[in-house]
Structure 1
């Protein structure tokens, strides 16, 4: 899923001209002229009108002219506007989907599945690909003790199936009686013991029917705290494939290629990006300076989480800003979905 962001361009025709220019530049790698836009895209306006629109887009910082007598190319802001206007992620072909399914559904160990996933993403997109290792352990709830400190404050003692003990102080939205606290403890242990956070929501509605109206807001707050405490911890380790694809990007990355490769090998910058990225089923795109790391200032990163958790692990692709964003977003989303099914996490 990809949500369309509000446009920074109020003029629909100029948005269409910009999107056509970005698509043409991605395809040809050459600055785009007004003549190429009029002849190659159904804009239904004259070349003079397109020239005026290009001048306005240039003044607004969406495109620029590398050479005085040549065409225009997108700026970072232009790419961002283009990505924001992608109304839906392109679907992969049937052949591509079958290849992914075959590649990832053979009975393999986790390490080999992750290696295959990185290689597959690199082949599908012709960019570098990264896959984060899944959690070290699954965190299920063994038991919870609840101590009432005041009518609006509880002490939670959370014990995981692995034997880890965590204490949390919780401020409630409304006062709660001692009897309701006892009922909460019994109901939560009966409903949630042995379950991972991803399954808590399924039990929440049934749990509410067994509690008083005063206890239900407290139950919601406790379940939220349990989910946060028991959320799996993901390994800060990445598998990387397709680094040679970056070298094929031409002059676009030549000045910073060594820094980009170093960032991929060190993992820290990408792991920071992944923490800001989208939940499973959604695709996150960061472009150039949005990556908040000088080593990644010349690339775009398309990423998504996989698995049933809400915060990772992640996978994605890294390539030049002149990237086929719809294709990359589609590949990342689809591969993440198949990887989730393959690992059953």
Structure 2
């Protein structure tokens, strides 16, 4: 049974080990922390923590380091989510300020997070299956080429270039745009994709030039709507794993593979259980099923006009959980506010 003081000793061990990367001994705790008891008493507390498998000796006659279970107790009961420093807040706000489409905002988000924390930053795209197409625009580029632009009510913008058989005059281009818009504008991405598929299936073999042009544009629209429906991640900071390779007992290859493949991280980010503050952490061996037993992931929910997604950090289990949780929470709030303001402006 771990006493209240024992839990505070665990807090001290976690904090000191994160700060120094060195195993923490009883004398170090007495010197650095105001417990008001002897080193022998602290050793008794550490023995109880070790019996509960919350700390472990990495080698004989050394101090102690937290186990994955110890980090979990720290995150759930002992971590104090510290406010960001003024410098961190300035760095985040400077990265995120200014209008932009959602793709750009999410890219700036991961760059801000990785700069502030030194970890791999991850942001989920909101689910666009429930989003609605709000605008379609066609821009003639000459030589039968045109730019197809789609915009959703959640701020997602798609731009693709395609070619039709011949140049269209302004009236022909507007007629083409109106035909495509009638299919999808004001409809959900899911419903629009279904109507586009039905339209393509009904195109006659002996199609008119207008029907042929519509079919070309609609095929592009179909591909973009399908991409809108797919879950995606934006990431930055993979190089930080190499800088912190000493914090991993084994290879960092599984983490690099997960970053490249995305599917594993998508599942992990989706399945993490958040607390009442919208914060979630998955630590070390809790990630065995995802092949990431040496990594920890912390995340916070953000809201994109009614569709929730997550912003998170991935790194070694020896991470500053208090600061990293504060960072993802702050960035998630920035992101929610930006997307709400952008939605109000539209």
TM tier relative to shorter chain: 0.5 to 0.7
Match of 2:140 in 1: none
Whether 1:343 aligns to 2:339 is yes
Q: Distance in 2 between matches of 1:27 and 1:252?
A: 12
Match of 1:132 in 2: 124
Secondary structure at the aligned position of 2:37 is classed as coil
Q: Distance in 1 between matches of 2:276 and 2:113?
A: 17
Whether 1:74 aligns to 2:66 is yes
Match of 2:291 in 1: 295
Equivalent runs, 1:24-103 vs 2, <5 Å? 24-86=16-78, 88-103=80-95
* Deviation per residue, 1:273-300 (Å, 9 max, x gap): 2222338952101101212435311011
Question: Cα distance, 1:137 vs. partner?
Answer: 5.2
Match of 2:111 in 1: 119
Match of 1:327 in 2: 323
* Deviation per residue, 1:289-336 (Å, 9 max, x gap): 212435311011001121157773211000110000000000000001
Question: Cα distance, 1:251 vs. partner?
Answer: 2.2
Runs of 4+ in structure 1 over 6 Å off: none
In structure 1, list runs of 5 or more residues that go unmatched. Answer: 1-8, 141-159, 166-232
Match of 2:240 in 1: 245
Question: Cα distance, 1:48 vs. partner?
Answer: 0.4
| Cα gap change, 1:76 to 1:311, in 2 (>3 Å) | farther
Q: Distance in 1 between matches of 2:20 and 2:55?
A: 16
Question: Cα distance, 1:11 vs. partner?
Answer: 0.8
| Cα gap change, 1:338 to 1:291, in 2 (>3 Å) | same
Asked if the contact 2:120/2:238 (under 8 Å) is kept, the reply is yes
Asked if the contact 1:283/1:304 (under 8 Å) is kept, the reply is yes
Asked if the contact 2:2/2:49 (under 8 Å) is kept, the reply is no
TM value normalised by structure 1: 0.67
* Deviation per residue, 1:178-223 (Å, 9 max, x gap): xxxxxxxxxxxxxxxxxxxxxxxxxxxxxxxxxxxxxxxxxxxxxx
Cα RMSD for the two superposed structures: 2.4
Question: Cα distance, 1:13 vs. partner?
Answer: 0.7
Secondary structure at the aligned position of 2:296 is classed as strand
Q: Which residue of 303, 306, 312 maps to 2:302? A: 306
Asked if the contact 1:279/1:312 (under 8 Å) is kept, the reply is no
Count how many residue pairs are aligned between Structure 1 and Structure 2: 251
TM value normalised by structure 2: 0.67
Match of 1:268 in 2: 263
| Cα gap change, 1:11 to 1:242, in 2 (>3 Å) | same
Match of 1:176 in 2: none
* Deviation per residue, 1:120-161 (Å, 9 max, x gap): 111111111111122325447xxxxxxxxxxxxxxxxxxx94
Secondary structure at the aligned position of 2:312 is classed as strand
Question: Cα distance, 1:95 vs. partner?
Answer: 2.9
| Cα gap change, 1:87 to 1:126, in 2 (>3 Å) | closer
